Amino acid sequence: MAELVYDNTGRLLFTKEMKEEYTLLVPQMLPMHFAMLVRVIQTMGYKVEMLNTSGKSILDYGQKYVHNDACFPAILVIGQLIDAVKSGKYDPHKVALVITQTGGGCRASNYIHMLRKALEKAGLDYIPVISLSFGLEKNPGFHWTVGLIRRLIYGMMYGDLIMNVANQVRPYEVNPGDTAAHVDHWTTELLDRFDKGDGMSRKKMRGIFDEICADFKSIPVSGEEKIRVGVVGEIYIKFSSLGNNQLEQFLLDEGAEPVVPGLTDFMIFKIYNRVSDVDMFGGSKLKQLLCQFFMGYIEKCQLDMIAALNKAGFRAPGTFAELHKLIHGYLNDGCKMGEGWLLTAEMLELIHSGTPNIVCAQPFGCLPNHIVGKGMIRALKDDYPNSNIVAVDYDPGATKINQENRIKLMLANAKRIAKEEQKQQESPAPAAH
């Protein structure tokens, strides 16, 4: 059994010996994206499992071991990890917990410290915690490599593409379940290719993009028109069905088409902040150049995805550069806590691309999200009167029925606006005199 080793600050390290013996547990946020993330890490010689758990016990453990000033995502993520450790499925002396750490002013920077405190309270402080971040914490048994980063980028791109095409097909499928079957097929297919090292170059990726788009385009769909509803908000609540009470499925059940901006823009946004920080506050020009190179590579991959979607006849998102232009006159680069200006930019992009109906999903008490989300709604409505935006809070005390009723009111308003616009289009033009 691997020896427990601590650094000079008292932090328990994940050692090289642990790499051979321990299973890494990863909380779930995006099913497709994280399945690929897990497989990528597995190809580097780690034992990894993604947690697909749900249930009341997750919230109970989160509330028990996390202080009540923490945001809802922290409670859920930490609760899910402790629930897994206590489930009896794993040997608690042979697991390590993986958690993302963003840096900056968001509470997400402190999730890792909250998790260690929770483990201590639960009598599990012998379990190592790995920070999935760049340079904030180092462990002898877990290293970032260029190959690992490159593979993670490809996994993110494939996840965004599949999410994009699936959301555009699922609401209109003639045979219920067709889209889900295609998602399962391509998730499995890509994971198999990852094992073989296939699809890990831009040239190969472009070819696979075309294959995926063509396959989803072959699904029989009806010609009916449905109201499109954009989903934006705090990164975890926006994507995680555990955090947003199955928001996407609820929208589908209500006869709407969910439109969810992908993960790629958020990742570019986080790298761009490192670039703009040097311009605004000073810092290492070398690090700035490295970040610019890294960001440029992801942007090229994003352009490949956009090209594939357009070629196949799907709606494609804008580029990060186009998103950045949209916030001029609203926010600047200094507004970067949490999702920062990106959240406002996503709402603007949705409005500009014909999706003025938007759910802004936010954890109660998340100050950054309330400023750039809820706080910007009035300014957007003033400039775009037909925009139909509702801010929905998610927290342990919020009832699902209240959340859904707010969304139903937004949908009712969307239908009313759509009818009025249709009447205006159908009404004859006034006769010329």
- What average pLDDT does range 339-346 have in this prediction? 94
| Phi, psi at 432, each rounded to 5° | -75, 140
pLDDT value, residue 317: 95
Residue 107: pLDDT band with limits 50, 70, 90: low
DSSP-assigned letter for residue 130 = E
Does position 432 have pLDDT exceeding 90, yes or no?
no
Angle at 289 (CA atoms; ends 271, 294), nearest 5 degrees: 45
Average predicted confidence (pLDDT) for the chain: 91
Range among 221-225, 300-304, 424-428 with highest mean pLDDT value: 300-304
Read off the pLDDT of residues 414-428 as tens digits, 9 standing for 90 and up. Answer: 989 888 877 887 776
Pairwise CA distance, residues 325 & 187, whole Å = 34
Does position 104 have pLDDT exceeding 80, yes or no?
no
Does position 433 have pLDDT exceeding 60, yes or no?
no
Distances (CA, A) of 393 to 61, 63, 126, 234, 396: 21, 17, 35, 11, 10
pLDDT value, residue 197: 79
- What average pLDDT does range 171-184 have in this prediction? 96
User: Any idea which of 8-22, 136-150, 241-255, 315-329 has the lowest mean pLDDT?
Assistant: 136-150
Cβ atoms 408, 390 nearer than 8 A: no
Closest residue by Cα to residue 92 from 48, 134, 127: 127
Put simply, whether the predicted model's pTM sits higher than 0.85 gets the answer: yes
Read off the pLDDT of residues 232-253 as tens digits, 9 standing for 90 and up. Answer: 999 999 999 999 999 999 999 9
- What average pLDDT does range 319-339 have in this prediction? 93
Residue 23: pLDDT band with limits 50, 70, 90: very high
Question: Greater confidence, 217 or 131?
Answer: 217
**Which domains, and CATH codes, for the chain?**
17-144 (3.40.50), 227-262+317-422 (3.40.50)
Pairwise CA distance, residues 190 & 370, whole Å = 37
Question: Three-class SS string for 304-368?
Answer: HHHHHHHHHCCCCCCCHHHHHHHCCCCCCCCCCCCCHHHHHHHHHHHHHCCCCEEEEEEECCCHH
Residue 399: pLDDT band with limits 50, 70, 90: confident
pLDDT value, residue 429: 59
Please give the single-letter amino acid code of residue 424: Q
pLDDT value, residue 31: 81
193, two tokens: 């290719």
